[in-house]
């Protein structure tokens, strides 16, 4: 039987201290990176988390921006947003907000966000270029985008393409260069790779060895 992973795939990028510092209801899925650790968040900044799930990265970011800052999490699943709101109430977080929305149509004003982050979610978008354009739209001039995501290498077997977990995602996945080109094509002036590793959960499946890369990218408006 082939290994299975949850939709919000797990990562080892978070420290035990980070995971213990947030409401435990938020630690239900941990993406494929740790964008808050990469983002060099500053006190008072406004942060947007795309595909926030139950809020892990939102709560970590909230600690970094402090009471004068604000973190907005968006996710298209009402159920996970409700869980995130419950965790925020439980943890007495007053500088966070959660909204039900699609990444391709963000309910956020133009030029209103200092930093946008995303953790292994944009790979599920059917319109990645549109999503990157939305991110750029909401960022203030000079705003930063930190994205941890998965990209693919080479061809895949029929069994993977039919797989109930990996198949749907791989059907819309991009290669590294195509993915970076989409970010640049959305209008980001500077796009740089700040980390790149083979994705451990894929390496556990013989059909995927060497073919799924966890990519950490920085974009500047």
Q: Would strands 212-220 and 113-119 be described as parallel, antiparallel, or unpaired?
A: unpaired
Radius of gyration of the chain from Cα atoms?
A: 17
Position 29 scores a pLDDT of 67
- List the one residue out of 121, 70, 103, 77 whose CA is nearest residue 186: 103
Note whether 128 and 169 are within 8 A (CB): no
Position 12 scores a pLDDT of 57
pLDDT exceeds 90 at position 19: no
Which residues, including other chains, have CB under 8 Å from residue 129's CB and lie 6 or more apart? 182, 185, 186
User: Does residue 127 sit within a domain?
Assistant: yes
Q: The domain that contains 165 carries what CATH number?
A: 3.40.50.150
How many C-beta atoms surround the C-beta of residue 217 within 10 A? 26
pLDDT band per the 50, 70, 90 thresholds, residue 2: very low
Give the whole-angstrom CA distance, residue 92 versus residue 64. 15
Position 180 scores a pLDDT of 98
Q: How many angstroms separate the Cα of 58 from the Cα of each of 71, 121, 155, 171? A: 6, 14, 35, 29
Position 32 scores a pLDDT of 87
Position 8 scores a pLDDT of 41
DSSP annotation string for 60-74: HHHHHH-TT-EEEEE
Position 170 scores a pLDDT of 84
78-90 pLDDT, tens digit each: 999 999 999 999 9
Helix (H, G, I), strand (E, B) or coil at 44: coil
pLDDT exceeds 60 at position 101: yes
User: Does residue 3 sit within a domain?
Assistant: no
User: Does residue 15 sit within a domain?
Assistant: no
Position 39 scores a pLDDT of 93
User: Does residue 57 sit within a domain?
Assistant: yes
Position 128 scores a pLDDT of 97
Number of domains in the chain: 1
User: Does residue 171 sit within a domain?
Assistant: yes
Question: Encoding tokens for residue 216?
Answer: 């950490």
The residue segments making up the domain with residue 96 are 28-220
46-56 average pLDDT score = 96
Question: Encoding tokens for residue 70?
Answer: 């604000």
Strand ranges for the chain from DSSP E: 46-50, 70-75, 96-100, 113-119, 139-152, 190-198, 212-220
pLDDT exceeds 70 at position 5: no
């Amino acid at each position: 039987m082939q290994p299975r992973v949850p939709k919000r795939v797990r990562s080892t990028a978070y420290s035990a201290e980070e995971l213990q510092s947030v409401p435990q209801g938020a630690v239900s899925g941990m993406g494929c990176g740790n964008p808050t650790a990469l983002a060099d968040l500053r006190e008072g900044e406004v942060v947007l988390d795309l595909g926030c799930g139950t809020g892990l990265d939102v709560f970590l970011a909230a600690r970094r921006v402090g009471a004068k800052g604000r973190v907005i999490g968006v996710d298209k699943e009402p159920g996970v947003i409700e869980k995130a709101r419950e965790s925020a109430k439980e943890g007495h977080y007053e500088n966070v907000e959660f909204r039900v929305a699609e990444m391709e149509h963000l309910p956020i004003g133009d030029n209103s966000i200092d930093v946008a982050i995303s953790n292994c979610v944009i790979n599920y978008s059917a319109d990645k270029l549109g999503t990157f354009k939305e991110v750029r739209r909401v960022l203030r001039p000079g705003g930063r985008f930190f994205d941890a995501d998965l990209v693919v290498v080479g061809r895949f077997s029929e069994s993977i393409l039919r797989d109930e977990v990996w198949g749907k995602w791989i059907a819309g996945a991009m290669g590294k260069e195509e993915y970076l080109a989409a970010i640049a094509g959305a209008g980001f002036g500077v796009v740089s790779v700040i980390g790149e590793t083979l994705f451990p959960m894929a390496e556990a499946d013989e059909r995927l060895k060497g073919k799924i890369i966890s990519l950490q990218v920085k974009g500047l408006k």
